[in-house]
Structure 1
Amino acid sequence: MSLLRSVIESMFTPRLVKIYGNSPLQVERVYEPNLFEKWSDQIINSIYMLWKLGLYGSPLLVGYFYRKGYLTSDYFITLTKFVTSIGVILVVSFCVRGFGRSTNSVYQKFLKTLKDADTDLTPSNKQALSRYEFDFYAWPAEYTWFNMDGIAKKARRNIVRPVSHRNAFQLISSVPCHIIGYLSIHTFGIRMIYPGSLGILQMILGPVLLQGRTKLIESYKGVRSKLKTKENNSIDTMFIDRRNETENGNTLVVCCEGNAGFYEIGVMGTPIEAGYSVLGWNHPGFACSTGKPYPVQEHNAIDIVMQFAINKLGFKKENIILFGWSIGGYTATWAAMNYPDIKAVVLDATFDDILPLAVSHMPQSMESIVKLAIREYVNLNIAEQLLTYPGPVLIIRRTEDEVICLEEGILSSNRGNNLLIKLFKYRYPLIMNDAQLKILQEYFSYTGPKQDDFYRISGVNSDLCRSLLESYISENSKSYPMRIGEDMDDNQKTQMVLYLARKYMKDYKSTHCTPLPRDMFQAPWDINIVENDFVLT
């Protein structure tokens, strides 16, 4: 009777992939299923893949069979028999898989560990469970939105679009565009913006993601956790703890990946090599995280990650740096807007607003629909969110970026330039006149020695700029927007704009997806520590 119970329990339990070693001396080993589990698993997975292919291809198949005249009563009888046969094979396969797993001592030991962790996720049970690599859906949630206290659940800040005043005719005539925009975003649009959510891409990258996750766990003692968001999405996270181990270990870097980035093979490597504690996470719908990367779900995902970092991992807000790469700048700046006391924000290869990029990649005839769809449903306006954050910011510009430049090979069309310009217009409005804007745009068109020459020819006196900033802060405050520049002439304003541009933005000679070297991950310049050009390595 106990064998029968064990077989039934093991039918629908998670797939075990590998077992990690207890120490650096014990290497990980791949889990070896017995023949019963191996072959039954292959049959179940094959039937599942056929079902998915049939489901996605059903409109084409139905049309094909209809044109061939196959949709007759005899056809449906044959189809019913076929489905019944598949069902019988599937039931038998589940039974055989249950038997195979119930007779495998290694799997049963894993199953007991999983049950213990499900019952009570104590540190010891979590450590024991972390030795196993298995289907993430079965991983017990360690931190959930529903368990947060009232203060942590307070309403979050969001950028609200101004209400447009339109007459009845304009409202009615725009309904078709709204319908097309909604359907576009909620079918192929969100997948075009976030290709990492495509199942086919994740299936191709599966072995690579597993290899990357293994490296984080075995080489850096990474700890995996499942978080539950407000809408009950599961967010897969990886934490590398360097506290009391390295010079930068007491600072946590929360990494926000790009639109096809995963923490397993993403930007975590840069702050890890620089000696920081690091927390990575995958967007909703990416790899083992559930949901879809719509803005609201993205907000709730980074929100639960931040709450986990503060309340569970024990990091103070002032010891947290948000690191966003590419479209990850959206979640990074949203978190900065709602957690303004964090230490700093670092944005790598990030743009100011997704709309110009979306319009440039779509046919001109669809421009009006693209604008409506983006603004209504995926308004990823990074600049608007960044303006609300009062702390230090570093923008890293890729000088050969082929993704966020509106014109390929034209550095002045890099949307990172626009991000910094918008930030300066808010933070230092009195020194950002038309003349200074033109000079700044020309400065952005150069890089390397040419940019250095332009900076020198412009006669920037760094000591004077530093002195003016220190005097202003001592007499007023550090709060933004600053009123510095009221008594400056055009030459002084130009010097100040270029001085600040060199402090806020660093150039990296690379394309969009090249991994950022650790020496580029700098401590953002803080206006209270004007001479802080120290590179954290």
Structure 2
Amino acid sequence: MAFIPPEPTYSFSSDDTGARHTLYLTEKAEWQFTDKEKEAIEVFYTRTNRGNKIACMFVRCSSNARFCILFSHGNAADIGQMSSFYLSLGTRINCNIFSYDYSGYGVSTGKPSEKNLYSDIDAAWHALRTRYGISPENIILYGQSIGTAATIDLASRYEVGAVILHSPLMSGIRVLFNTKRTWFFDAFPSIEKVPKITSPVLVIHGTEDNVVDFSHGLAIHERCPRAVEPLWVEGAGHNDVELYSQYLERLKQFVSVELVN
């Protein structure tokens, strides 16, 4: 349930030195870029502390962006599939976007697991910091669905510019059962880590989400020490929040007004 890697929607090809990689999208990616758009996308590999090689993507959407979003996507997508969304979102809210594929997703090696998930975002964080020299205060961590587990884990250990949690889950067991406690065998116990986040947190959730119930978003929001006004999207489910106009409006307000002031 937690991990449903799709058939890879992209591949990397390397030059003669093996240092520079080029992105190729398959038809499954449902989007092919123009040459100009391709120039905005840089791809490479980085290695995790658990020995996996993960695919990374930097999308330069704006030449004057103050913030870069470190985006952790949902469980049934890869960065090839998400790349057109990254370009569109970053351009509209004036942010560059950095993303990565979890172990076992896309062209990343290894297998998806909870431990690998935390290791993967750690590797992505360090790659973003060292390769591009971006300061923590200019990084926004964005997690969607299972990506919120990775995002919350990292945000509980580092102070960043801000955190966006899109359809977050309290924990794995709580998605399946209505339990008030965190069991020792539970996976992704985000609800226990959220109080340690010292950055501003925006929670976004659809009120009709039938995958991760709306109550998860409410509980996560209540536990965040620096929660900002959330976005509860009336009538939205788990996979269509981005289609509502208030989604983009709230992100623009958060990034361009609230974080700047």
Q: Which of 157, 164, 169 is 1:338 aligned to?
A: 157
Amino acid at match of 2:15: L
Q: Which of 119, 125, 129 is 1:300 aligned to?
A: 119
Amino acid at match of 1:260: A
CA distance in 1, matches of 2:210, 2:61: 35
TM-score (norm 2): 0.79
Classify 1:133/1:260 alpha carbon distance in 2 versus 1 (closer, same or farther; 3 Å). Answer: closer
Classify 1:18/1:234 alpha carbon distance in 2 versus 1 (closer, same or farther; 3 Å). Answer: closer
- The answer to whether residue 223 in structure 2 is matched with residue 422 in structure 1 is yes
Q: Any conservation in 1 of the 2:205–2:241 contact (CA below 8 Å)?
A: no
Bigger CA radius of gyration: 1
- The corresponding residue for 2:57 is 238
Classify 1:297/1:219 alpha carbon distance in 2 versus 1 (closer, same or farther; 3 Å). Answer: same
SS in 2 for 1:226: strand
Equivalent residues in 2 for 1:12-411, closer than 5 Å: 114-115=15-16, 117-118=17-18, 121=19, 126=20, 129-130=21-22, 133=24, 207-209=27-29, 211-212=30-31, 214-215=32-33, 218-219=36-37, 221-242=40-61, 245-246=63-64, 249-266=65-82, 268=86, 269-340=88-159, 342-359=160-177, 375-376=184-185, 379-405=187-213
Classify 1:384/1:18 alpha carbon distance in 2 versus 1 (closer, same or farther; 3 Å). Answer: closer
Cα distance per residue 1:385-408 (max 9 Å; x no partner): 221111101001212212112xxx
Structure 1 residue 242 displacement after superposition = 4.0
Q: Any conservation in 2 of the 1:337–1:386 contact (CA below 8 Å)?
A: yes
SS in 2 for 1:521: helix
Structure 1 residue 524 displacement after superposition = 4.5
CA distance in 2, matches of 1:18, 1:418: 39
CA distance in 1, matches of 2:81, 2:253: 23
Structure 1 residue 515 displacement after superposition = 5.3
Q: Any conservation in 2 of the 1:326–1:349 contact (CA below 8 Å)?
A: yes
Amino acid at match of 2:240: T
TM-score (norm 1): 0.40
- RMSD after superposition: 3.1
Q: Any conservation in 2 of the 1:270–1:515 contact (CA below 8 Å)?
A: no
Counting strand residues as a fraction of each chain, which structure ranks higher?
Answer: 2
Counting helix residues as a fraction of each chain, which structure ranks higher?
Answer: 1
CA distance in 1, matches of 2:112, 2:55: 14
CA distance in 2, matches of 1:522, 1:324: 17
- The answer to whether residue 230 in structure 2 is matched with residue 505 in structure 1 is yes
Classify 1:324/1:216 alpha carbon distance in 2 versus 1 (closer, same or farther; 3 Å). Answer: farther
Amino acid at match of 1:207: E
Amino acid at match of 1:331: A
Structure 2 stretches lacking a partner, 5+ long: 1-9
Structure 1 residue 514 displacement after superposition = 1.4
Structure 1 residue 114 displacement after superposition = 3.0
SS in 2 for 1:231: coil
Structure 1 residue 328 displacement after superposition = 0.8
Classify 1:217/1:396 alpha carbon distance in 2 versus 1 (closer, same or farther; 3 Å). Answer: farther
Larger RCO: 1 or 2 (CA < 8 Å, sep 6+): 2
CA distance in 2, matches of 1:225, 1:418: 37
CA distance in 2, matches of 1:18, 1:381: 33
Amino acid at match of 1:356: R
Cα distance per residue 1:6-42 (max 9 Å; x no partner): xxxxxxxxxxx999xxxxxxxxxxxxxxxxxxxxxxx
Classify 1:242/1:250 alpha carbon distance in 2 versus 1 (closer, same or farther; 3 Å). Answer: farther
Structure 1 residue 261 displacement after superposition = 2.4
CA distance in 1, matches of 2:126, 2:50: 16
CA distance in 1, matches of 2:173, 2:98: 29
Structure 1 stretches lacking a partner, 5+ long: 1-16, 20-109, 135-205, 361-366, 406-412, 428-479, 481-499, 526-531
